[in-house]
Amino acid sequence: MAEAEDRENRLRILIAALEKRLEKQSSDLEKISERLKEEIEKRKRTEALLRECREIFYSFMRHLPAPAFIKNLEGKYVYLNEAYKKIVKTVSAEPVGKSDEDILPPETAKQLKADDSRVMRDGKASNTVETLKFGHKIQQFLTVRFPIFKNGKPFFLGGILIEVIANKEEKKQEPNRKNEPAPAEPLPAETREQDSVPGLDVQSGIRRVGGSRQLYMELLMSFCDEKKNFVREFQNHIKKKDMEAALIGAHALKGSAAMISATDLSHAAKILEAACKNRESEAKIMEDLKPVAESLTRLIALCEILQGRETPHCDNIPEYEVNHSENLTVLSELFKRLEKSFQELDPSESEICIRDIRRYVDAYPPESEIGILFQDMVKQVGNYHFVEAGEILDRLARKVKLPPS
């Protein structure tokens, strides 16, 4: 009897332990089940958000009239919108997964690759006037390139192409005063002195880009930098009997020069283009190259002068000027523009504002608190961290003691 009772007691104890363990496991399973439900709901919300973002992105890009693209680190297309597909389809039925070398002429592909590499290396957006040949059609674009970051490093390259169409009737027609755009902002006296250089209509060029002198000057400097080796490269094309490359080069120079209102150079390039197109003799083409070289030399010399004035060395800015009330007012306006560019996620406008602000802030020692804050803000903008840059801008404004908005 006693032995039977002992076995029964042990059995009860074992059953109680099993029930307790089962109860604990059931509780654990309930917790795991709740966590799984939360994870599933969270994943559903994330997937819904991703679908919404994807739909917004594709809807926007599908209706964007300007051609746009995204390339990976290898320079291969991973995305093209409908507008870009339309102009590329003449040379490639399916460009996704291909590089420029696969679908464009070698000279054009080489130039595009160099421009892409520069943007990815510097981690900054850039504006470049480019001439592209798709099939038998030659078109000129203002290409805006920008790096797309992942974990603080450029991961993709984005680009938007704006076709440049020169207004051939611009000089033949009287402007309609009612619809005439607002006059371009006046140039400083020292810059206006250079407007008299033959064949460069600065005011017309500024109007052509919507009245923005800063954008015009950037395009002018970019043009001079890109075309400084044009004559030598063109001569090499002729020596190699590569008339196709020579024709594209002359056409690109004509359009780019027209974009910046370099009238003499554009006219000379037009004559050179016609000589290439008509397969004139090498002697005739070289003769037509001379006016191009002369106009280009004058323009590059002017750019070198203006570039020196556009970006004065900080040694030319006395330190006491930073505290001058007029300069504080100018800085206040620049800070407002910069803050707006952060809110609109506009890297190009941010870069322009930072460049102008630097002329004043450089008067402070780099190791000062203001100098350190400014460099930290520049770094955040370079990484496209506009929220963080905006927070630093607020601190910087308080340190510089700007007048209240």
Q: Which two tokens stand for residue 138?
A: 């030659």
- How confident is the model at residue 184, as a pLDDT? 41
Angle 175-180-184 from CA coordinates, rounded to 5°: 110
Q: Per this entry, what is the length of the chain?
A: 405
- How confident is the model at residue 259, as a pLDDT? 76
- How confident is the model at residue 76, as a pLDDT? 92
Burial class from Cβ neighbours inside 10 Å (0-12, 13-18, 19+) for residue 20 reads: exposed
Q: What number of H helices and E strands is found in the chain? A: 15, 5
Phi-psi region of 245 (alpha: psi -120 to 50; beta: other; left: phi over 0): alpha
Q: What is the pLDDT of residues 83-123, one digit of tens each?
A: 888 887 766 667 888 898 888 888 778 888 888 998 999 88
Instruction: Note the CATH architecture for domain 197-310.
Output: Up-down Bundle (1.20)
| Residue written as token pair 């680009």 | 159
Is residue 375 within 8 A of residue 358, CB to CB? The reply is no
Q: Which of 200, 323, 311 is nearest to 259 (CA)?
A: 200
Cα–Cα separations (whole angstroms), residue 135 to 92, 139, 174, 380: 9, 11, 37, 42
- How confident is the model at residue 307, as a pLDDT? 60
Q: What is the pLDDT of residues 24-50, one digit of tens each?
A: 888 888 888 888 888 888 888 888 777
Q: Count CA within 13 A, CB hemisphere, residue 203.
A: 12
Domain range annotation of the chain: 1-61, 68-163, 197-310, 315-400
Is residue 223 within 8 A of residue 131, CB to CB? The reply is no
Question: Cα(131)–Cα(108) distance, rounded to whole angstroms?
Answer: 8
Superfamily of domain 68-163: PAS domain (3.30.450.20)
Question: Cα(46)–Cα(35) distance, rounded to whole angstroms?
Answer: 16
Residues of the chain with pLDDT under 70: 1, 90-93, 135, 165-198, 208-210, 305-327, 348, 363, 402-405
Q: Which two tokens stand for residue 230?
A: 């044009």
- How confident is the model at residue 402, as a pLDDT? 62
Burial 156-192 (b: 16+ CB within 10 A, else e): bbbbbbeebeeeeeeeeeeeeeeeeeeebeebeeebe
Q: Which two tokens stand for residue 34?
A: 């709740």
